[in-house]
Structure formats: structure tokens, C-alpha cells
């Protein structure tokens, strides 16, 4: 009990520290952005090329800070009844244009008679999906198919699989995958998959990774169907809706 309390204290201090660091970084960013806009007003012709690069970098910084904040926070949001199929379909629709630009087809396969109802948080699950699909798109520069399958496993739990035809991973990457800041990309933050792991654990589920170099990678998410039972035991719950 004492140990738990100690750990909670350490964690909440850490959350506060992260929040204040993010705040301190955002302040100068805001002022930099302001001066950038001023400069832009006073510059002619080919400065625009550099401005758009700077803009894109600002956006990237903002996304990294957001992931960072999310990672450090305890779960404090509403768990409610959702349809997994609906959520995945929305993300597929959202990301299809981006995929098509890279000659990639996003395919969703599921049984038509089931909505795959579960207890969860829509915003967080969407973040999980976006991060995993984004990674898949990034490893398929020559295009191909990303297949998303929703079904039930032998235990009756929901299983969501995201399979790509990318380069696959070597052992070192497989081992580092979920470690914060681990990345093999020049422009990577290494925060995408740690967030994915956190979200699936918040849903009392787990994630397994299969990968073969030169063939592709598959992420399998398992979510207990009677998750509401577990949800009731979750700390820091704001409210639970069961209907």
C-alpha cells in the first residue's frame, strides 16, 4: 500500500514536471511564430519556401509536445459503449487520401453482422489507430495494401489486426519498438508506439507484433469483450456509461 502511494506520488510529480516543461517550450514557440508572421509580411518572393518549411517544423514540434503530454498523463476520460467498426471506418476514411498519395490502399475487413461493441474511449482509440496506420504508410514508400481486420479470437475477445507490406523489422527494432523516443527514422519522435501501448492497456487489452524483414508487419490488438467489468476497477475514472 505504502509502495503504491509512493509510486503514485512520484508519477504525479512527473506529470507536473512534464506539463510545466511543455508549457515552457510552448511559450517561446508562440512568440517565435508571431515574429515569423511579421517577417513574412515584410519579405518578398522566394522567402516563402523557407517559411513553409519553418511552418511544417512548428507543426511537428506541436505534435511531439502533444504526444509527450498524453504519455505522461494518467487516464482521465470517459469510457463508454462504442462500436469499434464505426471508429475504425472513420479513421480509414480520414487516412485514405493520405494513403492514396503513396499508392496505398487501406482495406477494412469485418463481419457485416457485427458492430463490435465494446467499452472504450473513442478519442484515444482513434489516436492508437492513426499512429499505427501512419507507421504502416511510412514503411511502404512503393505502395501496396494495408489490411485492417476486426474479428473475435478463440476466447471471444475482440481482435484488431493492422497488417502492412512494408520492410518489416530486425530484432533490434522489435525489441525497442515500445520504448519512448526509440526511432529508426530521421524525423521520428519515437512516441507513437509508446502511446499505442498505453491506450491499449487503458482498455485492458494487449498488443502483439509479428514482423518479417522484406515481407511486412502485423500489429494484433486484443480487447476483452467484457471490458466494462475491468473498467469498473479502473482508478481515476470520471464516469462510466453502460448503456
Which residues of the shown chain bind ligand ADP in the complex (CB under 6 A)? Answer: 131, 135-136, 139, 164, 166, 169, 173, 177, 182-185, 188-190, 192-193, 217
* Strand partners for 81: 119
Cell triple for residue 66?
A: 502533444
Return the residue nearest ligand ADP (CB atom): 192
Q: Which parts of 183-242 interact with Mg ion (CB under 5 A)?
A: 192
φ/ψ of residue 203, rounded to 5: -100, 15
- Indicate if the alpha-carbon torsion angle 156, 157, 158, 161 is positive or negative: negative
Nearest distance from C-beta of residue 139 to ligand ADP, angstroms: 4
Q: Which does 190 bind (CB under 5 to 8 A by kind): ligand ADP, Mg ion, none?
A: ligand ADP
d(CA 195, CA 197) in angstroms, rounded, equals 5
d(CA 146, CA 239) in angstroms, rounded, equals 35
Nearest distance from C-beta of residue 168 to ligand ADP, angstroms: 6
Q: Which does 70 bind (CB under 5 to 8 A by kind): ligand ADP, Mg ion, none?
A: none
Instruction: Report the SS3 class of residue 113.
Output: coil
- The answer to the question of residue 135 lying near Mg ion (CB under 5 A) is yes
Q: Which does 217 bind (CB under 5 to 8 A by kind): Mg ion, ligand ADP, none?
A: ligand ADP
Instruction: Report the SS3 class of residue 148.
Output: strand
What are the residues binding Mg ion (CB under 5 A)?
A: 135, 192
Amino acid at each position: 500500500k505504502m509502495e503504491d502511494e509512493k509510486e503514485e506520488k512520484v508519477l504525479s510529480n512527473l506529470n507536473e514536471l512534464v506539463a510545466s516543461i511543455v508549457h515552457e517550450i510552448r511559450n517561446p514557440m508562440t512568440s517565435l511564430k508571431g515574429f515569423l508572421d511579421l517577417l513574412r509580411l515584410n519579405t518578398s518572393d522566394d522567402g516563402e519556401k523557407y517559411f513553409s518549411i519553418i511552418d511544417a517544423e512548428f507543426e511537428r514540434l506541436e505534435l511531439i509536445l502533444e504526444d509527450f503530454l498524453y504519455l505522461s498523463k494518467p487516464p482521465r476520460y470517459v469510457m463508454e459503449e462504442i462500436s469499434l467498426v464505426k471508429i475504425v471506418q472513420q479513421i480509414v476514411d480520414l487516412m485514405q487520401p493520405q494513403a492514396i498519395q503513396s499508392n496505398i490502399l487501406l482495406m477494412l475487413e469485418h463481419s457485416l453482422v457485427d458492430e463490435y461493441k465494446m467499452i472504450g474511449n473513442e478519442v484515444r482509440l482513434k489516436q492508437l489507430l492513426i499512429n499505427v496506420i501512419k507507421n504502416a504508410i511510412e514503411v511502404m514508400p512503393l505502395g501496396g495494401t494495408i489490411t485492417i481486420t476486426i474479428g473475435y479470437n478463440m476466447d471471444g475477445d475482440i481482435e484488431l489486426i493492422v497488417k502492412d507490406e512494408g520492410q518489416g523489422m530486425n530484432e533490434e527494432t522489435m525489441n525497442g519498438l515500445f520504448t519512448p523516443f526509440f526511432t529508426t527514422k530521421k524525423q521520428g519522435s519515437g512516441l507513437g508506439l509508446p502511446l499505442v501501448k498505453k491506450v491499449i492497456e487503458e482498455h485492458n487489452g494487449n498488443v502483439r507484433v509479428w514482423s518479417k524483414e522484406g515481407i511486412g508487419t502485423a500489429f494484433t490488438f486484443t480487447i476483452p469483450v467484457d471490458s466494462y467489468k475491468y473498467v469498473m476497477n479502473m482508478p481515476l475514472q470520471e464516469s462510466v456509461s453502460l448503456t
